[in-house]
Amino acid sequence: VSAASPRRVLHFGAGPAALPLPVLEQAQRDLLDYAGSGIGILELSHRGAEYGALKERAEGTLRRLLGAGDDWAVLFLPGGASLQFAMVPLNLGAHADYVLTGSWAKKAWQEARKLGDAHVAATSEATHFDRIPRDLDLRPTAKYLHVTSNNTIYGTQWREMPEVPAPLVCDASSDLFSRPLSLERHDLIYAGAQKNLGPAGVTVVLLRRELLARSPDDIPTMLNYRVHEAHQSNYNTPPVFAVHVMGLVLAWIEAQGGLVAMAARNEAKAGRLYDAIDRIPLYQGTAVPADRSRMNVTFTLSDPGREDAFLAEARREGLVGLKGHRSVGGIRASLYNAVEPEAVERLVAFMEAFAARSG
């Protein structure tokens, strides 16, 4: 919290999520005059030189952070991660396998089922998605395997992607850029920006160029990866502001030391919070320890009747966004990149004091 914005609270919401303060301050300046152009960023043409340069910079930073070379296409698309649930099977073929690790994974599978015979390779639904299933029932003919790297609602996360024969498609909406990832195990990665990357409105899709050949000509133009790639994500008017802020966030990540530094910072924050959950009897983690997410820490109170008081008192102390997803309840603290370690210290101190008051 800076002196310039004394009313800002500590934001643990799951998305749209906290953004780095220097990024918000830069975006604020750019609203009136982008880079000395005399035009605000919201007014800038997507066909002009300024946008072309900022988009190229954002893409360059993204490629450097991930180590993605020319064999990867990088697209900035509208429609959120939810549109990718349909675009992936439309472009790659819907005879595909899905691992169901939460509500978002299930939605992706349900969308693919509308388009073909999407098959469940594994699911942890029987145990309320408290873990990542290990045994995968893979079909040799599958066009791809779809996984969700981090389960925003249930607080579980794949430690490592599985090595499988089919192309691996990963919904990384809630952990892309929070840690290094092994690109060689992936074939398509997508993420809505509004957690670790920027504001809502832009979705990043990275795919191996060779997959572009699969996009059929007869699918709607706006849903065709090949069209977006051919037009460098400028087929229609892109979300200029969202792409700009994403570029600022990516530059901020790079300046912090890149993905290795992000992973260390996120690991430490999550470790601190899980330690409190395991130490204080009032709190119970909901995910099995081996599969706990570093991004979304989910827990309940042993006295569920105290949850409303927990949330209300936290809010009074400036700790907001802690209510679990409406479908599961409980408490969820999202610890995305921009959440400062000091915010986690404040949360842990609050949890200790609240537990002491609860006797």
Ligand X SMILES: Cc1ncc(COP(=O)(O)O)c(C=O)c1O
What is the greatest pairwise CA distance in the chain?
A: 65
The total of other beta-carbon atoms located within 10 Å of residue 302's CB is 12
Stretch that binds ligand X, among 1-9, 59-67, 157-165, 170-178 (CB under 6 A): 170-178
Do the Cβ atoms of 328 and 153 come closer than 8 Å? yes
Among the listed residues 30, 72, 175, 195, the single catalytic one is 195
The total of other beta-carbon atoms located within 10 Å of residue 342's CB is 11
Closest CA to 134 of 285, 291, 286: 291
Residue whose C-beta lies closest to ligand X: 80
Stretch that binds ligand X, among 63-71, 169-177, 301-309, 334-342 (CB under 6 A): 169-177
Q: What helix, strand, coil percent values describe the chain, rounded to 5?
A: 40, 15, 45
Residue whose entry in the numeric block shows the structure tokens 């133009």: 221
Residues near ligand X (CB under 6 A), total: 11
Q: Is 286 in the site for ligand X (CB under 6 A)?
A: no
Q: Does 275 qualify as catalytic in the annotation? A: no
Q: Is 152 in the site for ligand X (CB under 6 A)?
A: yes
Residue whose entry in the numeric block shows the structure tokens 């408490």: 331
Q: Is 238 in the site for ligand X (CB under 6 A)?
A: no
User: Cα separation of 338 and 305, whole Å?
Assistant: 31
Cβ within 8 Å of residue 142, ≥6 positions away? 95, 96, 97, 119, 166
Among the listed residues 130, 171, 175, 187, the single catalytic one is 171
Q: Site for ligand X (CB under 6 A): which residue of 81, 202, 245, 338?
A: 81
Q: Site for ligand X (CB under 6 A): which residue of 171, 187, 229, 291?
A: 171
Q: Site for ligand X (CB under 6 A): which residue of 26, 37, 82, 234?
A: 82
Cβ-based nearer residue to ligand X, 15 or 89: 15
Q: Is 337 in the site for ligand X (CB under 6 A)?
A: no
User: Cα separation of 80 and 58, whole Å?
Assistant: 18
For 318, counting Cβ atoms within 10 Å of its Cβ (0-12 exposed, 13-18 middle, 19+ buried), the class is: middle
Q: Is 158 in the site for ligand X (CB under 6 A)?
A: no
Q: Is 133 in the site for ligand X (CB under 6 A)?
A: no
Q: Does 252 qualify as catalytic in the annotation? A: no
Among the listed residues 72, 104, 158, 252, the single catalytic one is 104
Q: Does 106 qualify as catalytic in the annotation? A: no
Q: Which residues in the 90-109 window bind ligand X by CB under 6 A?
A: 104
| DSSP class per residue in 79-128 | SHHHHHHHHHHHHH-S--EEEE-SHHHHHHHHHHHTTS--EEEEE-GGGT
Q: Site for ligand X (CB under 6 A): which residue of 61, 173, 334, 337?
A: 173
CB of 109 to ligand X, least distance (A): 12
Stretch that binds ligand X, among 76-84, 287-295, 298-306, 329-337 (CB under 6 A): 76-84
Cβ-based nearer residue to ligand X, 52 or 78: 78
Q: Which amino acid is at 44?
A: L
CB of 111 to ligand X, least distance (A): 11
Residues that are catalytic: 104, 171, 195
Site residues for ligand X per CB under 6 A: 15, 80-82, 104, 148, 152, 171, 173-174, 192
